[in-house]
Chain A
Amino acid sequence: MNIFISGGCKNGKSYHAQELARDMARENSLPLYYLATMIPTDEEDRARIRRHLSERDGWGFETIEQGRNICEVLTGSTLSGEKVSPEGVFLLDSVTALLSNEMFLPDGFMDESAGERLAAELADFAAKTGNTVFVSDYIYSDARTFDRYTESYRRALALIDRTLAALCDRVIEVSYGFKYLYK
């Protein structure tokens, strides 16, 4: 089952997503993968990654690092060198980080086509795995229009969210620990 989860910041999305992914893997005796999307650029990032790794300790996740071109995961390896099984359960946390990597390139260039491309890649990823939990962020209720870069990013993320919400079997909004099931 493919699942899409979104909601506000620090509302418990990641924790709920981890529970769902773990349960899905246990029930079907499948490998459990965590897709680490952050590309570290400094010591603060590396410290955050170490914290995330220790937070997932004991959950049974195999970590896969992939900051761009997400579908390459399916023919790649985990951090510990095991070959990835596309039949496994994948937790992608988060779509938001992945879009940042695809859209804002290291040379300072912004790829305006990243939203459409990533929406298609993630739809492909969902179809190929069938057991992915996607986590996104609901960043659409500000009372202002941002600069061109931010507005392009919001529009692109919304396109991805709508695409995933349409094709996933289950769509959940997490709001301060409460869950609402749209599907």
Chain B
Amino acid sequence: MVLIFGGAYQGKLEYTLDNFGLSEGDVYRCGENTELDLSFKVLYGLENFVMGCVKAGIEAGELLSEYGDSLTDKIIIVTDISQGIVPMDPKERSWREMTGRTMVYLGRRADRVIRVFCGLGREIKG
């Protein structure tokens, strides 16, 4: 598994497609629900899936662990939302915290972790 993260608008998806020789057709765009389509190579916008989990009252990491080994060949892209102001809205606070926990969980499982900064990648694990 490869985990790719970075702030908003940093060019994470473009970086992934360019560096892994993939195209838009390989990308599953996560919605604010608890569904993932594992027929795609890239799971993009996992923070939306986390928001879906918050709304459903499920811990995202636990749901992801149920997928087991079927995630090992995936590239997961998450927006890092951990470094700003603590949101006023309790649901946004839960979202921010659950996204952090989920990234720690995925970072531990991933073979490679890459941070994208202004379109440039930095391998922090692998």
Contacts and interface: CB of A to CB of B under 8 A. Distances in A.
Contact of A173 (B80, B83, B92, B117): B117
Interface in B77-102: 80-85, 87, 89, 92-93, 95-96, 99
A104 interface: no
Given A8-B83, A162-B10, A143 B96 contact: yes
Interface stretch (A23-31, A62-70, A121-129, A151-159): A151-159
Contacts, number: 72
Contacts of A164: 118
**Overall SS of chain B's interface:** loop
Nearest to B94: A143
Contacts of A162: 10-11, 118-119
Interface in A142-183: 142-144, 154-155, 158-159, 161-162, 164-166, 171, 173, 180, 182-183
Given A4-B118, A140-B6, A162-B118, 4 more contacts: A140-B80, A142-B85, A143-B81, A182-B118
Chain A interface size band reads 20 to 34
B7 A138 contact: yes
14 contacts: A6-B118, A138-B117, A140-B7, A140-B9, A141-B7, A141-B84, A143-B92, A144-B81, A144-B85, A154-B9, A155-B9, A158-B11, A162-B118, A171-B118
Contacts of B95: 143
B68 to A, nearest CB: 29
B67 to A, nearest CB: 25
B91 to A, nearest CB: 11
Contact of A158 (B8, B83, B92): B8
B120 interface: yes
Nearest to A156: B9
Interface in A56-86: none
A141 B8 contact: yes
Contacts of B96: 143
A162 B117 CA distance: 8
A159 B10 CA distance: 8
Contacts of A173: 117
Nearest to B14: A162
